[in-house]
Amino acid sequence: MSGTLEVRVLGAHDAVPAEAGGADRLELVGDLDDGALSPEPREVAAVRARTNIHLRPVVRLRAGYSTDGGELVRLRGLVAAYLDAGADGLVLGFLNGLGEVDAEVIGALLDGFTCPWTFSRAFDTVLDTDEAWRAVVRLPGIDGVRTAGSARALEHGLDDLVRRARADARVAALVVADGELHPDHVPWLARAGVRQFHVADQVRPGGSRKAYVDEGLVRSWRRLVDTEVAHARR
């Protein structure tokens, strides 16, 4: 398996240079004030009209990682609208009141929809990480878990994430390394079997969210991921 480079984008103005720089997948978000919130379906359509690579919008209407029956209806409508607008998959993540992966809510949200999806950084706020991994590997359609191995950042969670990936090929296959990913982290993760990598502010000049995604910065990450994954496979 070659490396997958995912880039967070805020719209077509970011998506076009991300694709040109060699990104494999786009995570489309709307509002970043409360973390990554859902974009409008028209933004999904706009990105789809100008790019050809895999596109996953975030399914999250408010801060926090819980939901309720009323909001669930709205979320299902949003999922349908996203897929109709050309999304290839989704990014989502919900926890119950005990801080556990909410498999029931996720199942209800995705019932009747067939598409791959990524569990969001909500994963890094669970109370029991071991139990959370046991839960997510059983979820239908999931092909990624965005995680830093810590609720803070990869700087704090790298060792644990590498350990888990080395110990369980299912974990390694699902990890989408995220949380202030630094170039120095990539070799360690790749050697542990991780093949999916997420970048956001790293590909904006000066790391500023006010700047657009830069094609050259994406290309630098593309080369890094390709090189380290190739070395790890030798």
Q: What is the per-residue pLDDT across 143-183, written as a single tens digit (0 to 9) for each?
A: 999 999 999 899 999 999 999 999 999 999 999 999 999 99
Residue 220 forms part of a structural domain: no
Give the integer Cα–Cα distance in Å for 4 and 222. 9
Residue 221 forms part of a structural domain: no
Range of the domain at 41: 4-211
What are the pLDDT digits (tens) for 107-123? 999 999 999 999 999 99
Residue 232 forms part of a structural domain: no
Judge contact between 5 and 200, C-beta under 8 A. Answer: no
Q: What is the dihedral of CA 81, 85, 89, 92, to 10 degrees?
A: -40
Residue 233 forms part of a structural domain: no
The pLDDT of residue 186: 98
Residue 225 forms part of a structural domain: no
Of 125, 146, 147, 123, residue with least CA distance to 135: 123
Is pLDDT above 60 for 1?
no
Computed from CA positions of residues 177, 86, 10, 211, in that sequence, does the dihedral angle turn out positive or negative? positive
CA distances to 36, 43, 103, 148 from 1, in Å: 28, 31, 28, 21
Element containing residue 173 per DSSP (H, E): helix 169-174
What are the pLDDT digits (tens) for 17-72? 999 999 999 999 998 877 789 999 999 999 999 999 999 999 999 988 988 878 99
The pLDDT of residue 35: 76
Residue 8 forms part of a structural domain: yes
Residue 226 forms part of a structural domain: no
What are the pLDDT digits (tens) for 57-108? 999 999 889 888 789 999 999 999 999 999 999 999 999 999 999 999 999 9
pTM: 0.96
Length of the chain in terms of residues written: 234
CB within 8 Å of 17: residues ≥ 6 apart: 212, 213, 214, 215, 218
Task: Give the CATH number of the domain where residue 111 resides.
Answer: 3.20.20.380
Residue 51 forms part of a structural domain: yes
In the chain, how many domains are there? 1
- Total Cβ atoms within 10 A of residue 75: 21
